[in-house]
Amino acid sequence: MKVKNGCAMCESKFSGYNDEHRVLKPLIRKNGNLVKASMKEAVEKAAKILAEANYPILYGWSSTSCEATRVGLELTEEVGGVIDNTAVVCHGPSLLSVQELGIPSCTLGQIRHRADLIIYWGSDPWSAHPRHIERYTAFSDGRFERSMWRGYLNKVKALIGRKKVESALRRLSLKKETEGSSASKSKVCPTISKVGRKLIVIDVRRTKTAEMADYFIQVEPNKDYELLQAFRTLIRDQEIDVDEVAGVPIEYLEEVADAMVRCSFGALFFGLGLTMSKGKLRNIDAALSLMRDLNMCTKFIIMPMRGHFNVTGANTVSTWQSGYPYAVDFSLGYPRYNPGETTVVDILLRKESDAALVVASDPVASFPRKAVEHLVENPLVVIDPHMNATAQMADVVFPSAFVGIEAEGTAYRMDHVPLPLKRVVAAPSGVLQDEEILWRILSKVRKIKKTEKTEEL
Amino acid sequence: MKENAKLKVTLVTGRTIDQGVGKERGKASKEYAESVSVCYLDPDDLRRLGIKENTNVLVSTEHGTIVVKALKSLRAPHPNIIFIPYGPWANAVADPETNSIGMPSFKGIPAEIEPAADKLVLSLKELLKTQFGGRLTSQ
C-alpha cells in the first residue's frame, strides 16, 4: 500500500492503521488485567458504570466524526454528566476570547488565493501541520498571489554559497571572523523588502518554519502579550518609550508593523504558543484586538491552528446542540457552561468526577500527571482504535474503526468547512464505528434507568 | 567536567514531527516513546552542563521530576530554554495550574536541569506504573 499526497503523519496513520497496537476485541479488567470479552458484556459493564455514576465526565471527541459526537451529547444528557473535548487543552482559551471579542475570519481557500502577508505566531506548521504552508499559505499558488517556493529555494542556495565562500576565505586566513553561534543580534535591522507574498514567524525558538520565513522575531517565553500590545501601539502610530519589548528591539517591531499595515490581505495563524503560555486567553484577547486595529487600515484575518482533525467539529456539534462549544455540564438537567468549573481538567484536579468515558483521545498522555491521578482512580471506559496510554489504564476498552479510513463521517476543517470523510477499507471483523458503540451504550443506559425507576415505584 | 552542574531554565513543551508520526503509529510504539522521552537543549547549555548529546538528564519542576535523554537542538540559539515534546514524560513535570479557565500551563514553566547519566529513561509502561500504580493491562 502506498500513501500519496499525505503529510508524514497521514502516511504513518494510513500505513500503520492495522498493526500490533490495534485493539481488536472488547476488553474488560478482571483481577487487575484486561481480558477479552463479548461486545454485549462490555456494553453492559460500560453502561452500568455511567448510569450509576454521580458525576461522570465524557471526554475526547476530537478524532471521531460529528455524528458520533452528537450521540455523545445525548449520552451525557442521559447520565447527567459533563461533556468536554480536547479544545480544553488546546484552543479552549481561543474560544473564550472569541466569545468576548469576535473573530474576523475566512476559508483557507481565500488565504491561498489572496493573502500577501502570512504570520505564524506561536505555531510551527512544519512540525504540526506539515502541508499547511504548501496547500494554503506561503508556498501555495493562488489566483492573485504566487508561491514563495522559488524565492525560498534561491535564498537557501545563496546562503549555502555564501557559507562556502566564507569557509574558503577563513581557510585562506584573509578574513578573521568567529563563527556566529551566540544569540547576538545583528547591528543593522534587516528589512522586509520583497515583492510578492511575505512570511513572518514569531516564536520562542528558531523553528523550521522560522527558517523558511522572510522575517523571524524571537520573543522571550511568556512575553507574547507585551509584544502583541506593542504591535497595537505601533499600528496606531503611537510611540514606544523603551528600546526593546519582550527581548526584541523596537526597530524589528516597526519593520513588522509596517509590513502588516502595508499589506493588502494579511492572515495571522496562531498556535499553542499563545494559548498555553502566561496570559493564555488574554494573549488571544490581545491578538483579536490587534486584528480589530489592523482592519481599520487593511484587511486582516486570524485563525487558530487546530490540533486534532475534528476538534472544530466537536466544538460545532456541541454548540448547535447545547449552546456551548466545550465543558458542558448536564448534571442539573440542562446545559451549563462555566470554564474553570465545568472544564474536565479542573473537575479532575478538584477530584469531583466519579467515572469517565474517553473517546478518540488520550488524556493519560496529554493531561498533567495530577489530573490523570483522579482519572485513573475511578471507573474508566475507553473507545479507541489503539491501545493508547488511556486504554492501558481503563476498566473497559472498546475497539473502534478509524474515521476516514474504515468509517464514514463528517469532520470540520480548521476554517469550519465541513468535509465528508470516506471509508477506504472495511474495519476488522467485530470492530464497530464509534457512533454505533455509543448508541449501544446509550440504549443500555436508558434500560438501566427505566428499570431503576420501575423498581422505585 | 562539571559533575554537579545544574541549570535554571524555562521548560517549553510542544509538537515535533517525530512525535506526530509516532502518535499516529500508536502511543504504545517504540517510535512514539523515543520521540517524546527526550529534551532538546541549546548547544551552549549542553556545554555548561558538561555533557554531550544522548546523555540522560533529570528535569525538575515544582510539580515533579523526570529523566529524559538530552539532544542537541537544531533550533538554537535559545539559551536557557529546554524543549520536551508533548507526552507523558513532559506531563510528569508540567504545571497543572489552569488559572480557572481549564488550560494547564504547558509552556514557559520554570525548571532545573542536571546531568543524570546513571539514571534510566522509563518506558511508557514503567512510567504509568510508577505514577499511577499497578492498573496496567498484561497485554
In chain A, residues with a C-beta closer than 8 Å to the C-beta of B107 are: 221-222, 272-273, 276-277
Out of B16, B27, B125, closest to residue A365 by CB: B27
* Structural domain includes residue A183: no
Domain of residue A80: give its range.
20-89+309-456
The answer to whether A281 faces chain B, any CB pair under 8 Å, is yes
Are A221 and A350 within one domain?
A: no
Cis peptide before B77 (omega within 30 of 0): yes
A290 in a structural domain: yes
- Residue A319 identity (one-letter amino acid): T
A124 touches chain B (CB under 8 A): yes
What mean pLDDT comes out for the span A70-93?
Answer: 97
Chain B (19-78) residues lying within 8 Å, Cβ to Cβ, of chain A: 20-29, 43-44, 63-64, 73, 75-78
| pLDDT greater than 50 at residue B1 | no
Q: In the listed set A253, A283, A304, which residue is the last one of a domain according to the structure?
A: A304
Check whether residue A78 and residue A219 sit in a common domain: no
Cβ neighbours of A11 in B, within 8 Å: 21
> A-chain residues within 8 Å CB-CB of B96?
345, 349, 368-371
Query: What pTM was estimated for this model as a whole?
Result: 0.93
Partner A contacted by B139 (CB < 8 A): yes
For range A307-330, the mean pLDDT: 97
Both A239 and A161 in one domain: the answer is yes
Sorting pLDDT into bands at 50, 70 and 90, what band is B81? very high
Percent of chain A with pLDDT over 90: 87
Domain boundary among A304, A337, A354: A304
3-state helix, strand, coil in chain B (%, to 5): 25, 30, 45
Q: Please judge whether A349 and B95 are an interchain contact, meaning their C-beta atoms are less than 8 angstroms apart.
A: no
Looking at residue A214, its amino acid is D
Position A184 in a domain? no
Partner B contacted by A450 (CB < 8 A): no
My answer on whether A79 and A106 are in the same domain is no
Domain count along chain A? 2
Q: Is residue B43 part of a domain?
A: yes
In a domain, A138, yes or no: yes
- Does the beta carbon of A130 lie under 8 angstroms from any beta carbon of chain B? yes
B137 part of a folded domain: no
Q: What is the mean pLDDT of chain B?
A: 91
A181-185 mean pLDDT = 40
d(CA A143, CA A172): 50
Does A277 contact B107 at a Cβ distance shorter than 8 Å?
Answer: yes
Q: Quick one: A321 and A232 in the same domain?
A: no
Q: Pick from B26, B76, B91: which is nearest to A369 by CB?
A: B91
State yes or no: pLDDT of A176 exceeds 60: no
Q: Quick check: B98 and A393 CB within 8 A?
A: no
* CATH number, domain with residue A124: 3.40.228.10
ipTM at complex level:
0.93
- Considering CB atoms only, which of B83, B86, B132 is closest to A393? B132
Supply the pLDDT for residue B18: 93
**Residue-number span of the structural domain to which B125 is assigned:** 7-132
A2: buried, middle or exposed (CB in 10 Å: 19+, 13-18, 0-12)? exposed
Chain B, window 82-111: residues with a beta carbon less than 8 angstroms from a chain A beta carbon? 83, 86-88, 91-92, 94-96, 98-108
A324 Cβ partners below 8 Å, 6+ apart?
A318, A335, A337
As beta bridge partners, residue B83 has B12, B40
Contact A272 B14 (CB under 8 A): yes
Q: CATH code at B11?
A: 2.40.40.20
**pLDDT tens digits for range A38-52:** 999 999 999 999 999
pLDDT of residue B4: 62
Residue A183: pLDDT band with limits 50, 70, 90: very low
In a domain, B1, yes or no: no
Residue A2 lies in a domain: no
Could you give the CA distance from residue A363 to residue A324 in angstroms, rounded to a whole number? 21
Whether the per-residue pLDDT at A363 is higher than 70: the answer is yes
Q: What are phi and psi of B105, to 5 degrees?
A: -95, 90
Closest CB from B28, B78, B104 relative to A388: B28
Report percent pLDDT > 70 for chain B: 93
Contacts of A283 (CB under 8 A, 6+ apart): A93, A224, A225, A228, A274, A275, A277
In a domain, B125, yes or no: yes
Q: Is-contact A74 A435, C-beta < 8 A?
A: no
Minimum-distance CB partner of B25 among A16, A27, A339:
A16
Residues of B in contact with A183 (CB under 8 A): 77-79
Q: What is the pLDDT of residue A20?
A: 83
Partner residue facing A362 (CB), from B12, B27, B94: B27
| Min Cα separation A422/chain B (Å) | 19
CATH code for the domain in which residue A33 is found = 3.40.50.740
Last residue of a domain, one of A250, A284, A304: A304
> Which among B12, B100, B139 has CB closest to A204?
B12
Nearest residue on chain A to B79, alpha-carbon basis: A183
